[in-house]
Chains A and B, each alone.
Chain A
């Protein structure tokens, strides 16, 4: 009998082109084949430049796809991009796509959107594939049982030229999430709790596999939210075993297999689950029954607490480095230890990003605000993750709910998730944001970010202070029903 293997080990093994070997005292890495390479305007120009300089073609344009997402505006998209440096980058991508024969979904195209929303939506992200992109949140695609990770620009060039990457095997960590989520608690709260537990460096060197009852109960959208933020736990990749929910999501998508191919694919996909008796290098367990809506108070995603709690006192940290980090964070955030989270007022609510701007996220938020009024001084921006999400939302009438509420209804892009397009926070402005990073200056110079789930974002827009749906009297509210 063969040795029991984990999901990650199976996918890895199926992609080894050249196995690493001991050469003297050097262990060479494995050369891995890459099934899908996604590029965007920010991390690709220098890679294409490198190809041109060395006279190399793109080896597999048919395994490559480009989108414009990071620095594009989310309004007036039919006008020329106003900001010259952004325009230059987008133009460079368009020129490169044309020169090297790569499929590109540009601003205004019905398939345009954030790279990690577009891949799954087109059915290009499939179980058992290797997926890379010059973007750390490529981990999102692991929700399908793909081995997906972010790469740097030199690696982008490497994949363009060779369709492979030399990689040293990861270690594996099981994240068991048992139990059932309470009403109003979502997958965003699971991953924030995981990060608070293992720390922002806890996953370094590992592929995380999320498993257990609470994970199996989640929709694909909710699973993507979890895998997306694996990088915030320090891990380059996160994975979830493909199951009926995965197959259901994929069936009928533009690039999903059809007919006999579909049956063959499903059979292969089923074989990918971690074998009974396989061992992980590390393992942690989280009890979903005990989770509550989670929100960050500091400037890294590990600095979070339950929304019902207060900001911790810096003195309460045992580790002096953690205490210093807390002090620095609180100074930047203009907050004090001991303040109840629910008393913190925000200026802006941002519902968007590759973490939480899929159709289900928009539905959940819309359900919370429907029939309610927005807090007067709060600005709310809703930025669908892709044009398809936007179109779907409009078909369902969600856009009306947002607009009636007084929210800004935008076109697709990374938007306020990072300060490199027109959607930015002003210095000192405070946001409840469904994105993934609360780093200093991430959403604009001097901007202050609290990471939250879509339903917390929506409830916060109603009350004006960090809030959960239960603060609005919603008690039987179930998040992410399948």
Chain B
């Protein structure tokens, strides 16, 4: 399986003026009961979306594809559903000064660009998007460049994730190229290491 290649994306920017948006806010736990991997668009920020003033309830932001948010986005639980919800809603990129580690890593696996910039740049883009609702943001992975109105700034993303996103490469397929090395490693793995099978149980 391979992913869609992402090289550059341009779309309506959504200024979300919140910091510390944890994954419980991105997608509340009760949506985690689904066993499918798609169709999470309704779950995104679901608690906030009941408030009609919430930014995604307002035109033209509701059709946004680039989320521009405060620091520490995606902290908290490991739920990859947070990324699926953003992806299913239509977001292609999230811009923030700081991301939760697991969120960032999950994003890279689903073709969602997590672009890190200085908070001062986030502030500038927020102003631009608020003054010109519907303004577009371009996230150019090739040149690691974000452009919005007259703002142009470089963003950080680790080289490997960027490369995989641009090539549309599936992680498992890549790893399986090293199957021989895994076989070799297993041969040298010490026998004292635990195994779950055969199962041993507590004495009751």
Contact = CB atoms under 8 A, between A and B. Distances in A.
A161 B176 contact: yes
Interface string A229-272: 00100111000000000000000001111000100110010000
Nearest to B164: A26
Pick the most buried of B175, B179, B186: most chain A CB atoms within 10 A of its CB.
B175
B35 A161 contact: no
Contacts of A234: 72, 75, 100-101
A300 B1 CA distance: 38
Contacts of B76: 136, 231, 437, 439
B159 interface: yes
Contact of B75 (A18, A65, A201): A201
A379 B1 CA distance: 51
29 contacts: A26-B159, A26-B160, A33-B182, A43-B79, A54-B1, A63-B196, A89-B35, A122-B202, A126-B194, A134-B78, A136-B76, A150-B102, A151-B102, A152-B80, A153-B37, A154-B171, A155-B105, A162-B175, A163-B182, A164-B182, A204-B101, A234-B75, A236-B101, A254-B200, A300-B22, A325-B19, A439-B22, A440-B25, A441-B25
Contacts of A204: 98-101
Interface of B: 1, 19-20, 22, 24-25, 28-30, 32-37, 47, 70-72, 75-81, 83, 98-102, 105-106, 109-110, 158-160, 162-163, 171-172, 174-176, 178-179, 181-182, 185-186, 189-197, 199-202, 204
A168 B181 contact: no
Interface in A24-52: 25-29, 31, 33, 35-36, 42-43, 45-46, 49-50
A129 B190 CA distance: 11
Contact of A437 (B24, B163, B192): B24
Contacts of A28: 160
A92 interface: yes
A262 B193 CA distance: 10
Nearest to A264: B192
A163 B11 CA distance: 38
B166 to A, nearest CB: 10
Interface residues of A, number: 90
A174 interface: no
Interface centre among B29, B30, B80, B83 (most CB of A within 10 A): B29
Contacts of A18: 178, 181
Given A33-B189, A419-B29, A152 B24 contact: no
A137 to B, nearest CB: 9
A86 interface: yes
B34 A200 contact: no
A65 to B, nearest CB: 4
A254 B202 contact: yes
A166 B171 contact: yes
Contacts of A261: 191-192
Contacts of B20: 200, 300, 325
A162 B200 contact: no
Given A54-B1, A64-B196, A31 B181 contact: yes
Contact of B160 (A29, A54, A441): A29
Given A150-B102, A264-B190, 20 more contacts: A18-B178, A33-B189, A43-B78, A49-B37, A85-B33, A152-B109, A153-B37, A154-B171, A161-B172, A164-B178, A166-B171, A200-B72, A201-B75, A204-B99, A254-B200, A255-B200, A300-B20, A321-B71, A439-B25, A440-B24
A153 B202 contact: no
Interface in A83-128: 85-86, 88-89, 92, 103, 110-111, 121-124, 126
Given A43-B79, A63-B196, A324-B19, A154 B35 contact: no
A318 to B, nearest CB: 15
A388 interface: yes
A17 interface: yes
